[in-house]
Amino acid sequence: MSSFTFGAPPPSPKFSLSEFNGCTIIVAVGGCHAARQTQYRIQPAVRGAVVVLNGDHAGEEFHDVLFFNSRVVRQLRGIPGQAIVGLVNVDKAAQDAVELLEATTDMVEYANQWAAANAGKVEGLIKTSVEAFVLAEQADAAQAPRPFQPPTQRVQAPPPPPPPLGPNFGKEQPPPLPSTDDDVPF
């Protein structure tokens, strides 16, 4: 049996947070990518999952979504592996910027009721969101260009230094003369 390495699935293409203006949502945060390509530029993005709790899309779930809006990214990037409840707000005064407003106690109570009726669902969304984030990061690391490294060369020991040169280099030293007391001329 062979093993495969699967890449990260593409994010949900049908998700745009601005479509849920005025809705209460649960966001399960998988993690924050430092750099993700949008159609305009590279910027940070948060990967997660969303459950819509009210409005026309109540009960809909969106798995493996990317949040690019800078306000939402700032709100979510510090809480990987957690879930929050928020109210989607499209700020018309700020060029339709999307943000998550803090949920009221009634919204949190409703989210808790939904979580109780769907036991284990929030934990499952968190788990799959973290797994999708990790897979995407691994895929990015595998595809990242590696820094240039020159080819390795065989390292040879340097040649020994040349021997000192002199008039007797390479010649045998004459044997020592025998020493006798008779050889002293006087």
Reported as a single tens digit per residue, the pLDDT across 79-120 is: 999 999 999 988 877 776 788 888 889 999 999 999 999 999
The mean per-residue pLDDT over the stretch 156-177 comes to: 65
pLDDT tier for residue 133 given thresholds of 50, 70 and 90:
confident
pLDDT in tens, 139-156: 877 776 666 666 666 666
23 touches 87 (CB < 8 A): yes
**Helix, strand, coil in percent for the chain, rounding step 5:** 30, 25, 45
Task: Tell me how far apart the alpha carbons of residues 87 and 168 are, in angstroms, rounded to a whole number.
Answer: 97
Beta-carbon count within 10 A of 73 CB? 18
Residue from 86, 71, 98, 89 nearest 27 by CA: 86
Which of the four pLDDT bands, split at 50, 70 and 90, describes residue 3?
very low
Q: Are 98 and 17 in contact (CB under 8 A)?
A: yes
